[in-house]
Amino acid sequence: MGSSNKREFQQRKAKTLSVKKSLNESKLTVGSWITLAHPAIAEIMASAGFDWLVVDLEHSVITIREAEELIRVIDLANSVPLVRLSSNDATQIKRVMDAGASGIIVPMVKTAEDALRAVESIKYPTEGVRGVGLARAQGYGVFFQEYLEWQKHGSIVIVQIEHIEAVNNLEEILSIGGVDGYIIGPYDLSGSMGIPGQFEHPDFLRAMERIKEVAGSLNVTGGIHVIEPEVAQLSSRIEEGYAFIAYSLDVRILDNNCRQALNFIKD
């Protein structure tokens, strides 16, 4: 591969470093979620200007082969590809990173040990335990040395705080080196407390306040998912201090826009 290929490789990795820098400095980035496997959807959303896009393997039927294609499209369309794992699995982490993902969102992190396992699984030795393979991420071998240096400082790990056990262990979880931020899973969190979907319940509100207090004391960037594509909700979350915000997801954006137009006509 020529110098232009190397330049493109470096530019794509620089995008991830920019998002990582924003996470470290708690500066706002806005992304979205992909649950449909068609590459055109990823291309449209990336081209719209989202800072990052998450390929969701936990709550979708996207296969690892389809994930690779989505990662490639997001990357080439000038956004940062992240993957929400189906579980905190070292083999899956290795595969999505080799496919070219810039980082991972790890579901159901409950303890510091969970967080450490994710961090070690994304890094090569000596920082971690990830096995070395040659695939798209490393330019199919051509840019291995460049990738080796990049993954030490550029790969992104976001932990999902979605269980009351995680709230109780939050200081330890967010103190693990290599954890770049967190994102709250409100439905699962409320469910783990025995109050599923009761987001105004005093116990849930106390848990949310504890998350913000602990993260603030440790200077760890907070994230949240605005499920419905409503700008007012997005604005509220920004005002609340969240800086890693997922704005809706492909299926809700599609459904919402269709229904708005049709309801207008019916009215």
Identify the burial level of 264 via C-beta atoms within 10 angstroms of its C-beta, where 0-12 means exposed, 13-18 middle and 19 or more buried: exposed
Q: How many CA atoms lie within 13 A of 101 on its CB side?
A: 29
From the candidates 59, 153, 163, 201, give the one annotated as an active-site residue: 59
108 CB-near residues (< 8 Å, 6+ apart)? 87, 88, 114, 160, 162, 163, 166, 188
The whole-angstrom separation of Cα 158 and Cα 163 is: 15
* Residue 53 CB coordination number (10 Å): 29
Alpha helices per DSSP H over 108-222: 112-122, 144-153, 164-168, 170-174, 186-192, 202-218
Per the CB < 8 A criterion, the answer to whether 206 and 192 are in contact is: no
Per-residue tokens: 18: 């920019």
Per the CB < 8 A criterion, the answer to whether 179 and 220 are in contact is: yes
Identify the burial level of 6 via C-beta atoms within 10 angstroms of its C-beta, where 0-12 means exposed, 13-18 middle and 19 or more buried: middle
Active site residue 59: yes
155 CB-near residues (< 8 Å, 6+ apart)? 16, 97, 102, 103, 122, 123
Annotated catalytic residues are 59
